[in-house]
Amino acid sequence: MNYQCEICHYIYEPENGDPEGGIEPGTSFKDIPSDWLCPRCGIDKSSFTPMGNEIQAPRGKDPLLVMVLGLTQGLWTIAGTGSYSVTRQIGRTFLEELKSKGLKFDDSKTSLESVRSYFVENHHMAGNIEYSVGDDEVDLKVQNCRFFPVCSQLESQGVLITTCPYTNTAAMAMEEATGYRFRISKEPQGFGHQITLKKVSKVK
């Protein structure tokens, strides 16, 4: 029986196994060691659900991730740091979607919890998002991210903008809650990222 990761949709097929992860072809899912991790997003075995045998894993990269990769590379090539206005718009667009779902942005913690619940609980796009709020900055830790392979590739190519939905939405949510703009910095950590939002100026 095939099993699918609820975060990144990777499909484990017993006949193929996961040789790079030490799982030989022919190993059933129940016989995989409990410390095995999804090779794409790093989530643990408990986040996989059975799919039966009729659904086969697609070959090659996820088309959505390829599209995000191409769009981000294109923006950086054409506009460089001028692309920040586009990435801010990504955050604004998501913010309006979250508001339409009744999520609240009354203060910093409520805003970040709204972002976390939308992406993690409603859409399973990451294993978890942890956050802490300081006087002038916010720290977010995104774990087991569906977009991690794309972000890693872009970072290795020196692309300095991010189309990451969590990052841009959190920045706009904090702007909505506090009335201040925030500068984004982002570092890879495990199968996710450590994100810092630093308060920079009052919104006019």
The average pLDDT across 187-203 equals 91
Q: Is the pLDDT of residue 57 over 60?
A: no
Residue 89's alpha-carbon distances to 50, 95, 112, in angstroms, are 37, 10, 18
SS3 label, residue 125: coil
Query: What pLDDT, on a 0 to 100 scale, did the predictor assign at position 61?
Result: 60
By the 8 A CB rule, do 166 and 140 touch? yes
Query: What pLDDT, on a 0 to 100 scale, did the predictor assign at position 56?
Result: 56
**What secondary structure letter does DSSP report for 48?**
E
pLDDT digit string, tens, across residues 41-56:
889 999 999 986 655 5
Structural domains of the chain, ranges and CATH numbers in brackets: 2-52 (2.20.28.10), 63-202 (3.30.1380.20)
SS3 label, residue 20: helix
Tokens 């841009």 label which residue? 168
Strand partners, 183: 198
| Global confidence as pTM | 0.74
Quote the CA–CA distance of 55 and 88 in Å, as a whole number: 38
pLDDT digit string, tens, across residues 64-100:
677 777 877 887 787 777 777 788 888 999 999 999 9
Cα 32 to chain centroid distance, Å, stands at 26
Tokens of 186: 């982002």
Query: What pLDDT, on a 0 to 100 scale, did the predictor assign at position 88?
Result: 87
Q: How high does pLDDT run on average in the chain?
A: 88
Q: Is the pLDDT of residue 189 over 90?
A: no
Query: What pLDDT, on a 0 to 100 scale, did the predictor assign at position 53?
Result: 63
